[in-house]
Chain A
Amino acid sequence: MINIWRLTKIQLLSAFGLNKALHTQEVKERRKLLLLSIAILIGVLMIAVFSFGYSYAMALAFEQIGRVELLLAIMMAVTSMVGFFTTVYKASGVLFSYKDYDLVMSLPVKTSHVVASRILQLYVLNLFFTLMVMLPAGAVYALQAHPEAYYYLLFLPAMLCIPFVPIIAATVIGALISWFSSRFRASRMISLVLTFAAVIAFMAGSFTLNGNGQEELADLGTGLADTIYKLYPLTAMYVDAVCNYRIDSFILFILLSVLSFVIFAAVLGSRYKAIHTGLMTSHAGGKYTMKPLKASTVFHALYQKELRRYFSSSNYILNTSIGMVLLLMSSVSLLFISPEQLGEVAKIPELQHYLNTLAPVFVSMFIALSCTTSSSISLEGNNLWILKSSPVPKHIILLAKVAVNLTITVPITMISCVLLIISLRTGWMDSLLLLVIPVIFACFSALIGVMVNLKLPKLEWTSEVQVVKQSAAVLVAMLIGIISLLVPAGLSILLTGVDGKIILLGAAVIMIVVSLGLYRSMKGNGERLFRGL
């Protein structure tokens, strides 16, 4: 068992540049990592404060109907759903796509233990989110319900088990997709398509469930509990254990969580090597004959190379294009639900107005989730020598990366915006802003991504997921993108006297100026920063 922990520890040390932070001798590097840690800590604290406030408001509402325990039920269900959703599309990558596979598998460690260590990596990453949501919710529950001492004893171990079942469920789907795909030559493409299909089916299922239960959801009574318990039966068991101090429910909840982990690790362990071989083996034909070649410009060659890099990696695609998939899905959904209906369901009378004004921000949020540039330099990894030793101005290399990001975001954004213009029936000014602001933001986000990645590169990695999902550059770029959108959105909601369009227009102008500044900086400092990698 100790080997599981040893393997997990090694993986976690490389996540978020933790090991580098612990061992670097360079003062500048230490300062950078310290600032980054502070930024992440502030982000975590902000989420925790927000989570506490949200839990508190919910608890007050539930108190009126004497059902404070619903707070824990809802938060547990939300945590589990988010855990499932964020794991399903990275499970295959974490389980199978890592460079040190040969090294790890040659060690005298059981295959099931290797699998367990990979799942534990997913568990630890999900646990952070669980803690950020459940700890404030648990504190609010304790403040409002004044539970007995048993509560405190049961809450903590039960909370630590919450991520297991959602992660295992997501990993089962990921492993099944990988197992199925590994039988075909185009295994990676099939895996990619199936994972997207699973994510879309899961989301569509959630929408349908919500749609059917609209009346119950509106009623903050037993109907809500029923809906949550129907959605995820373990919620009932959890609430029974923690709030009603039912030891049998507590033991069953813990057992189910831990057993699902152990059984899955053992079962996958038996087929692990075969799946990995099927997924990772490239087909070699050995029948090539020389054909005429096509010469391209340097930029076009780099763009083609970058595009091929993008589409060769299911981890890269899944983690960065999920925003575009969600955007397209949301835009198509809105064609079938009118903003008035949506406003009634959400109990926001002026939703139509907010949607019309803030639609560019709403669309841009999805673009912020689809920043490919923030990991594009890190993904060069050991191949970086090719670009560094080539006689090419480095800003051209960076621009090719920006161009690929725009190729992925702009066409889908434009289609989605046109669909939104139709469904929201926006006026000409709103329509114009909806078409222009997301494109400006796409440029801004791609440029920010490149510059952040230049400053925070992670060139030593064993799995692409470590770069695409867990690297500091990705977190920082996403944070900057989201804050850049939340500020104008917040201002247009708070400053009721000022036309929201003016605020968004102002934000767009600032983004253009910053983007131009970033472009200049890329041309000026890009060479130096690239050489320093």
Chain B
Amino acid sequence: MLTIRHFTKSYKGGKKAVNDLNLVVERGDIYGFIGHNGAGKTTTIRAVVGVLDFEEGEIEIDGISMKKDPLACKSRIAYIPDNPDLYEHLTGIQYLNFIGDLFSVSKADRERLIRQYSDAFQMTVHLGDMISSYSHGMKQKLAIISALIHKPKLLVLDEPFVGLDPKAAHMLKTIMAELCNEGSAIFFSTHVLDTAEKLCNKIAIIKGGQLIAHGKTEEVKGKNSLEDVFMELIDND
């Protein structure tokens, strides 16, 4: 579903934020992407969803090159950034309808899916309010609903559990599992190693812009906890 080949991103001054990263996310995968602050997680994620331009390497979504056909790639992706800055001048329902229009979701589908996910996240009664009146957690929930209403093949999330209350976090995990059972894939970054360990079937650890471990969760962590492995890998180099 997602193939990253030799992806390299340099910032001003020539410093490489990500260096020669290779990674494959397959259908049904819940792929956790972990690393400390500034390791290159967000840079990689932003390039994957087509928000960040890159020169070196290749990123393919469902076999389509992000460089050659970004619109086709984006129509298959849903992205939730770490800080959900949404249009504060819109009401929740106006925002969801707007996203539905951009992703050409049919009227029947968008009504059904908005109802389904809004009820699940207990957001329905708030959809008529301006987003400016929402708390951080409510904005996060709205961003998640907007990502789900166009039935993405690849769901990309940057720190999705930050700001969510325990019930909403549980709901999100359930939905992530359901999506994968239906054939979609999920690629997300997190600092919550416990969650990553329980939720993900595959894990990648990035340090200083380079992947230092990746593969099936059991293989990466072995008999230890993910936290122990992560600390060891990060401290060793």
Min distance, Cβ A532 to any Cβ of chain B, angstroms: 6
Q: Does B102 contact A (CB under 8 A)?
A: yes
Q: Does B128 contact A (CB under 8 A)?
A: yes
Which residues of A236-294 are within 8 A (CB) of B? 281-290, 292-294
With the chains together, A62 CA to B114 CA distance in Å?
A: 73
- Binary per-residue interface labels of chain B (123-135) against chain A in the complex, 1 for a CB within 8 Å, 0 otherwise: 0111111101110
Beyond A282-B133, A293-B93, whether A385 also contacts B81 by CB under 8 A is yes
Min distance, Cβ A110 to any Cβ of chain B, angstroms: 28
Q: Enumerate chain B residues within 8 angstroms of A300, measured Cβ to Cβ.
A: 101
Contact of A389 among B53, B79, B93 (CB under 8 A): B79
Min distance, Cβ B95 to any Cβ of chain A, angstroms: 9
Question: Nearest CB to that of B71 among chain A residues?
Answer: A391
Beyond A388-B50, A391-B72, whether A297 also contacts B87 by CB under 8 A is no
Contact of A386 among B83, B86, B89, B128 (CB under 8 A): B86
Whether the Cβ atoms of A287 and B100 lie closer than 8 Å is: no
Beyond A293-B100, A301-B102, whether A288 also contacts B114 by CB under 8 A is no
Q: Enumerate chain A residues within 8 angstroms of B115, measured Cβ to Cβ.
A: 290
With the chains together, A25 CA to B13 CA distance in Å?
A: 7
Q: Enumerate chain A residues within 8 angstroms of B110, measured Cβ to Cβ.
A: 293, 295
Q: Enumerate chain A residues within 8 angstroms of B24, measured Cβ to Cβ.
A: none
Min distance, Cβ A192 to any Cβ of chain B, angstroms: 14
Q: Does A219 contact B (CB under 8 A)?
A: no
Beyond A305-B90, A308-B89, whether A290 also contacts B124 by CB under 8 A is yes
Whether the Cβ atoms of A284 and B101 lie closer than 8 Å is: no
Contact of B114 among A293, A312, A390, A393 (CB under 8 A): A293
Q: Enumerate chain B residues within 8 angstroms of A106, measured Cβ to Cβ.
A: none
Question: Nearest CB to that of A396 among chain B residues?
Answer: B102
Whether the Cβ atoms of A389 and B133 lie closer than 8 Å is: no
Q: Does B97 contact A (CB under 8 A)?
A: yes
Q: Enumerate chain A residues within 8 angstroms of B75, measured Cβ to Cβ.
A: 391
Q: Enumerate chain A residues within 8 angstroms of B71, measured Cβ to Cβ.
A: 391-393
With the chains together, A24 CA to B72 CA distance in Å?
A: 34
Min distance, Cβ B129 to any Cβ of chain A, angstroms: 4
Whether the Cβ atoms of A382 and B101 lie closer than 8 Å is: no
Whether the Cβ atoms of B72 and A288 lie closer than 8 Å is: no
Whether the Cβ atoms of A305 and B111 lie closer than 8 Å is: no
- Binary per-residue interface labels of chain B (81-125) against chain A in the complex, 1 for a CB within 8 Å, 0 otherwise: 101011111101110011111111111001100110010000011
Question: Nearest CB to that of B13 among chain A residues?
Answer: A25
Q: Does B49 contact A (CB under 8 A)?
A: yes
Whether the Cβ atoms of B51 and A293 lie closer than 8 Å is: no
Min distance, Cβ B117 to any Cβ of chain A, angstroms: 12
Min distance, Cβ B144 to any Cβ of chain A, angstroms: 14
Min distance, Cβ B75 to any Cβ of chain A, angstroms: 4
Q: Number of A residues whose C-beta is below 8 Å from B?
A: 42
Whether the Cβ atoms of A287 and B128 lie closer than 8 Å is: yes
Q: Enumerate chain B residues within 8 angstroms of A295, measured Cβ to Cβ.
A: 97, 100-101, 105-107, 110
Q: Does B5 contact A (CB under 8 A)?
A: no
Q: Does A345 contact B (CB under 8 A)?
A: no
Q: Enumerate chain A residues within 8 angstroms of B118, measured Cβ to Cβ.
A: 290
Min distance, Cβ A143 to any Cβ of chain B, angstroms: 50
Whether the Cβ atoms of A313 and B87 lie closer than 8 Å is: no
Contact of A308 among B50, B70, B90, B101 (CB under 8 A): B90
Whether the Cβ atoms of A293 and B97 lie closer than 8 Å is: yes
Contact of B102 among A290, A308, A392 (CB under 8 A): A392
Q: Enumerate chain A residues within 8 angstroms of B74, measured Cβ to Cβ.
A: 389-391
Whether the Cβ atoms of A301 and B98 lie closer than 8 Å is: yes
Which of B51, B86, B88, B99 has its CB near the most chain A CB atoms (within 10 A)? B51
Q: Does A9 contact B (CB under 8 A)?
A: no
Q: Does B198 contact A (CB under 8 A)?
A: no
With the chains together, A383 CA to B126 CA distance in Å?
A: 21
Q: Enumerate chain B residues within 8 angstroms of A292, measured Cβ to Cβ.
A: 107, 111
With the chains together, A3 CA to B124 CA distance in Å?
A: 45
With the chains together, A367 CA to B235 CA distance in Å?
A: 61
With the chains together, A304 CA to B101 CA distance in Å?
A: 11
- Binary per-residue interface labels of chain A (346-389) against chain B in the complex, 1 for a CB within 8 Å, 0 otherwise: 00000000000000000000000000000000000111011011
Q: Does A309 contact B (CB under 8 A)?
A: yes
Whether the Cβ atoms of A296 and B125 lie closer than 8 Å is: no
Question: Nearest CB to that of B93 among chain A residues?
Answer: A288
Min distance, Cβ A104 to any Cβ of chain B, angstroms: 19
Q: Enumerate chain B residues within 8 angstroms of A388, measured Cβ to Cβ.
A: 50-51
Whether the Cβ atoms of A532 and B128 lie closer than 8 Å is: no
Question: Nearest CB to that of A393 among chain B residues?
Answer: B71
Contact of A385 among B77, B79, B94 (CB under 8 A): B79
Beyond A284-B129, A382-B83, whether A389 also contacts B51 by CB under 8 A is yes
Whether the Cβ atoms of B87 and A286 lie closer than 8 Å is: no
Question: Nearest CB to that of B83 among chain A residues?
Answer: A382
With the chains together, A386 CA to B86 CA distance in Å?
A: 8
Whether the Cβ atoms of B12 and A26 lie closer than 8 Å is: yes
Min distance, Cβ B215 to any Cβ of chain A, angstroms: 28
Question: Nearest CB to that of B131 among chain A residues?
Answer: A282
Contact of B49 among A285, A287, A389 (CB under 8 A): A389
Min distance, Cβ A320 to any Cβ of chain B, angstroms: 16
Whether the Cβ atoms of B128 and A285 lie closer than 8 Å is: yes
Whether the Cβ atoms of B89 and A313 lie closer than 8 Å is: yes
Whether the Cβ atoms of B111 and A288 lie closer than 8 Å is: no
Whether the Cβ atoms of A309 and B89 lie closer than 8 Å is: yes
Q: Does A531 contact B (CB under 8 A)?
A: yes
Q: Does A483 contact B (CB under 8 A)?
A: no
Q: Does A298 contact B (CB under 8 A)?
A: yes
Q: Enumerate chain A residues within 8 angstroms of B49, measured Cβ to Cβ.
A: 389
Q: Enumerate chain B residues within 8 angstroms of A296, measured Cβ to Cβ.
A: 101
Beyond A284-B126, A287-B128, A386-B86, whether A301 also contacts B101 by CB under 8 A is yes
Question: Nearest CB to that of A304 among chain B residues?
Answer: B98
Whether the Cβ atoms of B101 and A532 lie closer than 8 Å is: no
* Chain B residues near A (Cβ < 8 Å): 12-13, 49-51, 53, 70-75, 77, 79, 81, 83, 85-90, 92-94, 97-107, 110-111, 114-115, 118, 124-130, 132-134
Q: Give 7 CB contacts A-B under 8 Å.
A: A25-B13, A289-B125, A298-B104, A305-B87, A313-B89, A389-B74, A391-B103
* Complex A-B, nearest 9 residue pairs according to Cβ-Cβ distance, in ascending order: A288-B128, A312-B89, A301-B101, A282-B133, A391-B75, A382-B85, A391-B74, A284-B133, A282-B132
Given pairs A282-B133, A313-B89, A389-B51, 4 additional interface contacts (CB within 8 A): A25-B12, A288-B126, A304-B98, A382-B85
